[in-house]
Structure formats: structure tokens, C-alpha cells
Amino acid sequence: MCARLLPAPAPARRGASRFCASTQSFDSLMETDDMTPADELVQSVIRISRRASEVIMAIYSQPFRVRHKPDDSPVTEADLASDALINQALTALTPDCPVLSEESECPSFELRSKWQRYWLVDPLDGTHGFVSRRGDFTINVALVDAHVPVLGVIYVPQSGACYYAHAGGGAYRTDDEKGPQRLRVRVKAEPPIRVVTNYSKRNPMTGAFIESLGKVRIERVGSALKSCRVAEGGADVYPGFSRTSEWDTAAAQCIVEEAGGQMIDTDGRPLRYNTRAGLRNPAFLAVGDTRRDWIRAFKGGAGSGAR
């Protein structure tokens, strides 16, 4: 699996705990050893994600029940089992860092607004893909510091592929067949523009934006894998105009940015986290070619139908 192919890390608890408890900046904690505290933390999160993946795939291999939450989104025992494992493991790893997860009770904003650093988790992103047995579901774990994702791990249980990054450390992918491969976005978007989007019925906003791009090639993918496609240069843009929440994007944003891209709202500003009571994202774009005026394309097409 993913972590097995990486250099064997030293025990991570001391460095990881110091990282989260410290009030220093992320960059100031970088060291000159073979593995920095941030590297150790990434490796620990990958191992946790791999364990959660094993739990998810054990449930995936047999019949399972599907329930629906109040917003009508599906949830399965795999979501809940992964959530419990990740919450417990992250709390043990970094006792000073709160954990905010899709499947756990959300603290009030009065409490959350006092957090400097915290873990933001989607224990099973793409539950529709899980229920449909498409395989394109992920585990997303991010560390957010001062509203900015500074570490991201996206693990793909079906394939064992893992995307990961930390601020200033670059973005990588690894799987069962290859060691770590550096991720880089496609720096020049040329026709046909490669657009990655989800499987659900295309909303008018997405359709208008795609039409504004001219000649395009469309790929449909579930979960945070859409952003990963941008990070690895397989797509130029992911228009995130459907309903998403902060745990859907934080890990992906760190990976996209470390690969050379951007994840921006429709005014061109990077997404920020835990800044308000609600956890819904604004409409956003994950892009590889940062020199292209994607916002102009949005405002000329999709902007007239913005939600």
C-alpha cells in the first residue's frame, strides 16, 4: 500500500505533537534532517489513512446498508467506521489539535473560531461512488493552520494510490507499483481544454462555464480525485460549482497548490477555512494554468447564473 513504498519514518508522535502544539509557523518547523517534523506527520497520516482504507474495503466487499442524512446525502457504515478510526488515531497522534470531521458532531463556531490549527477530515469522500461501486472514493485528511491547509493526504482505497503534500514540500503521488512521483500541473492550458467534473447532472452554472471555454475534453470523476487530476496534469480545470463542504477541498487544495496550481473562488481568491459558522464552500475553480484568466471565463459564461 501507499505508506509501505515511502522511506520508513521515525516514530512521529514527538515531532507531530510539537508541530501542532507550537505557535510557530509551518515553515519555521522545517529542519535539515532527512525527515522533518512535517514529513513525519505526513507519513503518520498516510499510515492512518491506509488503516481506514482497510476498514472501508472490508465493508465494500460485502453487502452494506445505506442511510440518508437530513440533507439527503448517503452515509454508510464504512463512513462511520473510517471516521471513528481516523478521529481516534489523529487525537492520539496530536493531542493538542482538534479534529473536525464530516461524520462527527460539529462544534459551534464560537469554539471553532478560537482554533489556530486543526485537522479537517472527510473519512469517505464520494459516498455515491462507494454505493455505486465505481471505486472513485477517497479518504481526505488536511491540517489547517490560520485558515490555510498546510498538509493534505488523499488516499484512494480501491487502488491504494495516495496523493500528499505539505506546505513548501511539494506534492506527490505513490501507489503499489511506483514509489513517490512528483506532481506538477499542466502549466499551459491549450485547446481542447481538459475539464474534470462529477457524475451528477450538470448544473447551469457548470454548463455555461464549460461552454465559455470553447473546445473542451470532459472527464467525469468522483470525490477529491477531480482536484487530484488537476494536480497531476491530467486536467486543466475542475469547476467546483456543485455543493461541496470544507472537508471536501482542504487536502486537495494543499496538493493542487504544491503542484503549482490554484484553488480559488469566483473572485480569484484562494479558498479559506473555518472563517464563518457555515462549512459550505463557495463556488470555486481548481486550475493548473495560473496565468490563464479563468475568472473572466467564469464571469462571461457561468457568472450570469451564479447561485
pLDDT given at position 200: 74
Residue type, 257: E
pLDDT given at position 8: 31
Judged by DSSP in three states, 98 sits in: coil
Radius of gyration of the CA atoms of the chain, in A: 18
Check whether 136 has a pLDDT greater than 80: yes
pLDDT tens per residue across span 174-227: 987 778 999 999 999 999 999 999 987 678 899 999 999 999 999 999 999 999
Residue 70 confidence class, pLDDT cut points 50, 70, 90 = confident
Q: 3-182 is classed in which CATH architecture?
A: 2-Layer Sandwich (3.30)
| Residue 47, C-alpha cell as written in the block | 499510515
Q: Which pTM value belongs to this model? A: 0.89
Say how far apart CA 118 and CA 96 lie, in whole Å: 9
Average pLDDT, stretch 52-66? 94
Q: Which of 279, 9, 19 is nearest to 143 (CA)?
A: 19
Q: Which stretches within 1-36 are classed as H helix?
A: 13-21
Say how far apart CA 76 and CA 124 lie, in whole Å: 9
Residue 1 confidence class, pLDDT cut points 50, 70, 90 = very low
Share of the chain above pLDDT 90, in %: 75
Check whether 240 has a pLDDT greater than 70: yes
* β strands within 70-184, DSSP E: 74-76, 99-101, 117-125, 138-145, 148-155, 162-166, 171-174, 181-182
CB 101 within 8 A of CB 87: yes
Check whether 295 has a pLDDT greater than 80: yes
Domain boundaries, the chain: 3-182, 193-305
pLDDT tens per residue across span 31-42: 434 567 899 999
Element (H, E) at 237: strand 237-240
User: What CATH number is given for 193-305 in this structure?
Assistant: 3.40.190.80
Strand partners of residue 117: 145
Judged by DSSP in three states, 137 sits in: coil
Average pLDDT, stretch 268-278? 97
Average pLDDT, the chain: 88
Query: Contacts for 87-92 with beta carbons within 8 Å, 24 or more apart?
Result: 87/121, 89/48, 89/51, 90/45, 90/48, 90/119, 90/121, 90/141, 92/13
5-9, 40-44, 117-121, 243-247: segment of lowest average pLDDT: 5-9
Residue 279 confidence class, pLDDT cut points 50, 70, 90 = very high
